[in-house]
Chains A and B, each alone.
Chain A
């Protein structure tokens, strides 16, 4: 699945 963010959340 595409995503547009690196994992910058907790």
Chain B
């Protein structure tokens, strides 16, 4: 474990807590892409099935359970409890265009052609593009509430910090995982324009307005 991964995991945890709290407190999921949340729930449930087979550490197990529980609870709030506030009209990204390539790529490029390994690989590929429906929705509505942009910043930072973690591990432990690294770079790249807007606007107290 290293500082980059710890801060990355905490940033990830912060992001999903911010989102769940925002929906719960405002009793509304306006501006939130339910499709992205479904993809994230799928990412964690497919990646963390190894909860039942391998024990890495208490930290690892607790965090996996939290990620699965919070992501499913967020989907429940969006699609059940506060369904009336779900913005169907702006959450229109076709997620089948993300799921199909992730499945195909996981079957073609993986470390091991076993059930759990294919699911893990699918989860890694899917996570790299899972935020697209949310970013698409923000671009369609032309703006995002500041709490949503804090969520996106924390979520984007987590994988950016993981890249530093992978550099650290390659340098210090001679460990690397090309699939996770390439997908993580793609995932972080997707946030770049958001990061720019967040730093130049939101941190100056302005609303996150995308050029319509």
Contacts and interface: CB of A to CB of B under 8 A. Distances in A.
Interface of A: 1-10
21 contacts: A1-B110, A2-B178, A3-B111, A3-B177, A3-B178, A4-B174, A4-B175, A4-B176, A5-B169, A5-B175, A6-B54, A7-B50, A7-B120, A7-B177, A8-B56, A9-B5, A9-B165, A9-B180, A10-B12, A10-B60, A10-B64
Most buried by B among A3, A4, A5, A9: A9
> At the interface, is chain A mostly helix, strand, loop or mixed?
loop
B109 interface: yes
B67 interface: yes
Interface residues of B, number: 24
B180 A2 contact: no
Interface of B: 5, 9, 12, 50, 54, 56, 60, 63-64, 67, 109-111, 120, 162, 165, 169, 174-180
Contacts of B63: 10
Secondary structure class of chain B's binding surface, majority of residues = helix
A3 B179 contact: yes
A5 B112 CA distance: 13
B111 to A, nearest CB: 5
A7 to B, nearest CB: 6
A4 to B, nearest CB: 5
B59 to A, nearest CB: 9
A1 B8 CA distance: 25
